[in-house]
Chains A and B, each alone.
Chain A
Amino acid sequence: MKDKFDVIVVGAGPAGSMAARFAAEQGVSVLMLEKDRDVGYPVRCGEAISKKGVEEFIQLDEKWIASKISKFSLISPDGTESLIEFGESGYILDRKIFDYELAKSAANCGAQILTRAYVNGLLLEDNVVAGVKYEYQGEQKELKSKIVIGADGVESRIGRWAGLETFTDFRNMECCVQVTASNIKVDSNTLYFYFGKNVAPGGYFWVFPKSGYSANIGLGISGMEGKKRSALYYLNSFMEKNFPDAPILTSVAGGVPSTITLKRISIPGMVLAGDAARQVNPLSGGGISSGMIGGSIAGRIAGESIKMNKPDHILTYEKVS
């Protein structure tokens, strides 16, 4: 591996992979670092995306489409159901495969990828970000780069290290738990949303069907509500009431920053993308397509900036994203 890259992307989720791809497409050298051993796993996500949000970035492929969505069912606290039909307008993804394919598309454009690489600091030169410090196979290492793209998710710390104020107020954090359960007999083309203070206060409960009578089931509650009861408490009570015998295949927690995008997401030598920049739809908590859009713009601008040899060009990112 080289000891210097034009662009280093931290995090290999949808935003990171798009940033890596759009930068690499311009012929600059790109390395994407991922702290986990696998790209795409664990899946901390409801996995729903609109058709429009996904088509822009990757050719549809049955292998990562778990179900095709044409209806929304909104269920009020007293159980009243409103069914809205759209026609085929979205998908439930198999994110494990989807993220993997996105990372592969970045690799196919020339980006290098390193997993199990935990970024724990930034290199600064005259107060300008000039690379990353990271731990790899038990060793502390450093890598220089002209631009760092922080796509390190809800737990992003990279912006703070560069001097940006990036933490999310706990009241704006949607605290989520989800399971993949089987033996769930629901319509496989409908997204089910449950609302109410006994179900998911300050958020909503979702049942998103996947293939073969399995479903992604979960909820988010606001951090404010978490003062009283945890998301896990609400998940357990919903499952007991509605799907008491459903075998649970996976069980994951996660956080969704339900807030407006950060005021500053670029600083000399670094830009943020995806959840790290809080590029999330604050109403739905959806962040896959907005993260990919943010990542693609970040990658493109980083590539342009290097090709033009104009470091300040990356500061235009805030205006276009």
Chain B
Amino acid sequence: MYRESRTGKLLIDILPGKCDFCGCCVGICPEDAIELKEAEISIIDHRCTNCAKCIWSCPVEAIKFNKEGILV
């Protein structure tokens, strides 16, 4: 079972172990599709369009593109 983005299968994966919770990706996300608390981060699936800008902006390589889709 795959997670669903606004444009089909969700292909963006945030690796919480690598994330520094800095907010770079939240600031550039055009869809307001990332939720960031003190040390918790998650994608709001139904808003994400798989545009990959968060991947490019991540300073610590904590966001990856997974063309297979992200499992629930």
A253-B20, A253-B24 known; A230 and B32 CB under 8 Å?
no
Alpha-carbon distance A257/B29, docked complex (angstroms): 13
Q: Does A53 contact B (CB under 8 A)?
A: no
Knowing A226-B56, A227-B56 are in contact, say whether A154-B61 is a contact too (CB < 8 A). Answer: no
- A36, B36: Cα distance in complex, Å: 11
Residues of A near B68 (CB, < 8 A) are none
- Give A177 to B58 CA distance when docked, in angstroms: 10
Among candidates B35, B38, B57, residue contacting A36 with C-beta atoms closer than 8 Å = B38
Tell me the smallest distance from the CB of A112 to a CB of chain B, in Å: 20
Which residues of chain A are within 8 angstroms of B28 by Cβ–Cβ distance?
Answer: 167-170, 173, 223, 255
Decide: A252 and B22 in contact? CB cutoff 8 A: yes
- B12 in contact (CB, < 8 A): no
Main secondary structure of the interface of B (DSSP, over half): loop
Measured between beta carbons, the chain B residues less than 8 angstroms from A227 are 56
Categorize the interface residue count of chain B.
20 to 34
Q: Taking the complex as formed, is B30 at the interface, i.e. its CB lies under 8 A from any CB of chain A?
A: yes
Interface string of B21-54 (1 = CB under 8 A from A): 0111011111010011110000000000000010
Q: Which residues of A contact B27 (CB under 8 A)?
A: 154-156, 167-168, 173, 255, 257
B1 at the interface (CB under 8 A from A): no
Q: 4 closest pairs, A vs B, by CB?
A: A155-B23, A255-B24, A155-B26, A231-B59
**Chain B contact residues, CB within 8 Å of chain A:** 20, 22-24, 26-30, 32, 35-38, 53, 56-61
